[in-house]
Amino acid sequence: MQRIFKGDVDNAGNCDELPYFDHAIYQFSHDNGVTFDAEKVVKYETGADFDPEHWDNEEYLLKNMQYSGYNFTFNDNNELIYSAISSLSHEQDGIRETVGGVRIFKGKWNGSDYDWRNPAKLTLPLSISGRGLMEPFLVRLADGTLFIEIRISVDYVRGNWAEKRRYYSYSKDGGESWAPARPLCFDDDVMLNSSSTLSLE
């Protein structure tokens, strides 16, 4: 994940006061990590790739923004499955909201690069998680099922981030479609509480 802060960092006092832009960057090495090709962006819309000489290009900064997941896996067809958080629309009971949701990406190797598709999305209403879905972690189970675990913040909409939970979803068709996100619970259906951390793995 690459995060670019734009503004006068020295005088900001707090980086949270500066606008920032998140992107998912990947590179290839053909010599076991000694050197790497130019940075490329995982894309879901038309936009520029990262250029360190012109890092503030708005065609880069404002396009394909996403808080990248921190792992990936493969399906039975050897497609790379990857997830990230971005701004998405959620509609439920006639109410449409902009939320932080999960984009599921599938990368097909073409011999020199990955051709990316974004076939599926996961969202929850703000009444369940005021910060949306966060920090997705993907695994492939023994039977080929793809499983994703995600953190939410229950009470953010009430000005309190005290309660945090884990949610999950799964795909039985190689990542094309996913079950609605559900709470991760103990055997007695008590929801799993979580600190503000990355995946439980």
**Residues 55-98: pLDDT tens digits?**
889 999 999 999 987 889 999 999 999 999 999 999 988 999 99
Q: What is the pLDDT of residues 2-33, one digit of tens each?
A: 999 887 767 655 656 678 899 999 999 999 99
- Amino acid at site 177: S
- pTM, entire model: 0.86
Residues 166, 200 contacting (CB under 8 angstroms): yes
Q: What is the pLDDT of residues 110-137, one digit of tens each?
A: 999 999 999 999 999 988 887 788 889 9
- How far are the Cα atoms of 74, 103, 108, 120, 140 from residue 77, in angstroms, in the given order? 8, 20, 9, 17, 13
- Amino acid at site 61: L
Residues 107, 115 contacting (CB under 8 angstroms): yes
The residues, any chain, with a CB within 8 Å of residue 105's CB and separated by 6 or more, are 42, 44, 80, 81, 82, 83, 84, 116, 117, 118
Tokens of 184: 């991760």
Residue 159 has pLDDT above 60, yes or no: no
